[in-house]
Amino acid sequence: MPEAEALKLLGAGLAIGLGLIGPGIGIGILGAAALSALGRNPEARGAILTNMILAIAFAEALGIYALIVAVILALVA
């Protein structure tokens, strides 16, 4: 039975670890692109920041889904 508990926790760790790689990279790319766009066109600051924050929120939602799956795997399975 301890092996099952260990595998359950390993699965939860892999779920959160792999599930946050995509959003982490995506948020980094979004931030870099927004700063680059601001450097080229500072007058469009409002539109760029609004779209960047919206896109980051969507990427962060994917990370939250991965967290929920990891918690479910750790506590329920």
Determine the Cα–Cα distance for residues 62 and 26; give it in Å rounded to an integer. 11
Determine the Cα–Cα distance for residues 70 and 6; give it in Å rounded to an integer. 14
Confidence of residue 1 (pLDDT cuts 50, 70, 90): low
Taking only the tens place, the pLDDT of each residue in 12-66 is 999 999 999 999 999 999 999 999 999 999 999 999 999 999 999 999 999 999 9
Q: Which domains does the chain have, with CATH numbers?
A: 2-75 (1.20.20.10)
**pTM for the predicted model, two decimal places:** 0.80
